[in-house]
Copies of this chain bind each other. A is one copy, B any other.
Amino acid sequence: MTGRPPVAGLRWADNGSATLSGALLDLADRLDRRFRTLARRWDATDMRFPALIPAAALERIDYFRSFPHLVTFPACLDAVEDNLERFCAGDPVTADGQVRPSRLGPIRDVLTPAVCYHLYHHHTGARFAAPAYFTATGTCFRREDSYLPLERQWSFTMRELVCIGPAATTHLFLEQVRADVDTLVTELGLPSLWTVAADPFFRPSRNPKYLMQRIDPTKHELVFDDRLAIVSANLHHDHFGRAFDLTSTVDGAPVHTACVAFGLERWLAAIVHQHGPAPAGWPAVTGP
């Protein structure tokens, strides 16, 4: 936060993560409740997913070759007695805070990089007779080269609204949610504009998926203050429908999906930037 005034209720750590308390935590909770009210229009099913997702689920969408630089794995010591003994016998942590693990056990999971991957994985093989709407929040993990309080964190909170249905339904869903989000940013006094965006692929110019996104834009971000994306709206076509065998009972074809993702800490950053670090200046963020 060099050059910026301290924010009440925010403690930032070198490891790219934030601790919230007091009025800032209260604002975070009120914002999330406000995002959830946007899901009511769709009578969305509320779900709570774990922090861990099987690597095999993300392999279905070739996640690892697209985003190897972002992935965080949950790794445990191989729990064989003599391996644990070996860890304890040395210095488990060096003087400068680095862990000296003995042999790690097999890694089979990933710390969730986005909430909605869980949803498609959860429904693997499902048949949909009608459009379905979901909402979920969770902690997501993305390793970055550098971090910035509330704006770019190793672990952060994502609220998502997801639509599963025919192509036209997913288009209408994105249009309506984007309109509702526009109303919300106006209400909160956060000057923001929708722009075409691309996912942060590894070696983008060599990734056909990135090239496709440039030709056929499927990702839009709501950018606050010309610099901070606080919402992303994503049209996946039948990408996840095919990958997770989600089909429509109407025509037997893979379903289409779309999601809108809110980066909760970034909304806090936007409000603090726009309305000042003191809670007295923050908008009320009341839900209907």
Contact = CB atoms under 8 A, between A and B. Distances in A.
A74 interface: yes
A42 interface: no
Contact of A72 (B20, B25, B74): B74
26 contacts: A11-B122, A14-B54, A15-B109, A17-B50, A19-B48, A19-B118, A20-B48, A21-B46, A25-B46, A26-B46, A51-B51, A51-B139, A52-B155, A55-B92, A55-B97, A56-B97, A64-B88, A64-B93, A65-B92, A68-B77, A73-B104, A75-B104, A76-B143, A97-B108, A98-B107, A98-B108
A15 B108 contact: yes
Given A98-B106, A98-B107, A99-B107, A154 B52 contact: yes
A253 interface: no
A45 interface: yes
Nearest to A89: B65
Contacts of A88: 64-65, 68, 202
A69 interface: yes
Contacts of A75: 72-75, 104, 107
